[in-house]
């Protein structure tokens, strides 16, 4: 799928007031954290994380022109996808392949939660321990809560208005959990807005926890050539990322 591949929409799930998951008639071999470029002829092409690969699913929040255009689509309509692109999350060795079981925390904000569900499934299948901490502005913007519950992971919720879960941000939940050093995870995976990612990185560095952050940037070529997705000191989000094992703004 180096070129845009037309796939039919086979199902549309309403996740919350502004978010839908589009299930497509096709699958992809890809890692959690990788992304695809979604094209609508005559409209635009934008990057979206993989919410699942079998079948290929995308969880999309209607926030602007392009995402709203996608939200207009119905079951049976075409969607064009190229990818997978970029570097996904690096997973610890599976337990069934003699890896040590790892305690992982998955931190998500906004639609950044989408790729974490796919990641959680993979980590659980590999025998690791998964805790999920997700946040949003309010209850109506929280994503995939039921889906995570169904996976049976430990789940913490944060909303900025306190309408559900803890009042405040995901990092505040992290801080309170980390206050008991017995809780300390081996690995933190995060996806969400830049401010959240930086806060997560700082917190992890302070506690000497390994972390991987899925970054966002304006993507044009998606191939590591045009330079428009640069973050920090020369890092290309589409080629070196979107997942970085360091804070690209700091290095």
Binding-site ranges for other proteins (CB under 8 A): 2-4, 6, 37, 39, 41-42, 44-46, 78, 80, 82, 219-228, 230, 232-234, 236, 239-240
- 195 contact, one of ligand FES, ligand FAD, ligand FMN, none, CB 5-8 Å limit per kind: none
Question: Residues in contact with ligand FES, total (CB under 6 A)?
Answer: 13
Residues 6+ apart with CB under 8 A from 186: 92, 102, 103, 104, 209, 210
Query: CA 90, CA 244: separation in Å to the nearest integer?
Result: 10
Nearer to ligand FMN, 162 or 227 (CB): 227
Classify 180 as helix, strand or coil.
coil
Nearer to ligand FMN, 164 or 221 (CB): 221
Burial of 138 (0-12, 13-18, 19+ CB in 10 A): middle
165 contacts 158 by C-beta, under 8 angstroms: yes
The CB-of-215 to ligand FMN minimum distance in angstroms stands at 21
Residue 239, interface with ligand FMN (CB under 6 A)? Answer: no
Which of 69, 140, 178, 221 touches ligand FMN (CB under 6 A)? 221
The CB-of-224 to ligand FMN minimum distance in angstroms stands at 9
Residue 227, interface with ligand FMN (CB under 6 A)? Answer: no
- 61 contact, one of ligand FAD, other proteins, ligand FMN, none, CB 5-8 Å limit per kind: ligand FAD
What count of Cα atoms within 13 Å lies in the side-chain half-sphere of residue 214?
30
Q: How far is CA 79 from CA 69, 96, 153, in A?
A: 11, 37, 32
Residue 24, interface with ligand FAD (CB under 6 A)? Answer: no
Q: Helix count (H) and strand count (E) of the chain?
A: 5, 16
Tokens representing 27 are 């699958």
The CB-of-241 to ligand FES minimum distance in angstroms stands at 9
């Amino acid at each position: 799928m180096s070129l845009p591949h037309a796939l039919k929409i086979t199902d549309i799930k309403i996740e919350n007031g502004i978010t839908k998951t589009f299930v497509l008639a096709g699958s992809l071999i890809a890692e959690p954290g990788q992304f695809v470029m979604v094209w609508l002829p005559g409209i635009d092409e934008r990057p979206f994380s993989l919410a699942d690969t079998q079948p290929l699913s995308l969880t999309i929040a209607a926030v602007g022109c392009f995402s709203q255009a996608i939200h207009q689509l119905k079951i049976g309509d075409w969607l064009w996808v190229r990818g997978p692109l970029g570097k996904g999350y690096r997973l610890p060795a599976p337990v069934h392949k003699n890896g040590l079981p790892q305690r992982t925390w998955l931190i998500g904000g906004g639609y950044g939660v989408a790729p974490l569900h796919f990641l959680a499934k993979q980590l659980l299948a590999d025998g690791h321990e998964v805790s999920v901490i997700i946040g949003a502005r309010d209850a109506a913007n929280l994503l995939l809560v039921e889906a995570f519950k169904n996976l049976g992971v430990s789940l913490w919720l944060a909303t900025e208005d306190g309408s559900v879960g803890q009042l405040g941000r995901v990092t505040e939940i992290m801080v309170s959990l980390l206050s008991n050093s017995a809780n300390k995870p081996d690995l933190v995976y995060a996806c969400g807005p830049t401010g959240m990612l930086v806060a997560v990185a700082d917190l992890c560095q302070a506690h000497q926890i390994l972390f991987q952050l899925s970054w966002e940037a304006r993507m044009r070529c998606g191939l590591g050539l045009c330079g428009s997705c640069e973050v920090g000191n020369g890092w290309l989000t589409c080629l070196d990322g979107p997942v970085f094992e360091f804070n690209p703004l700091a290095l």
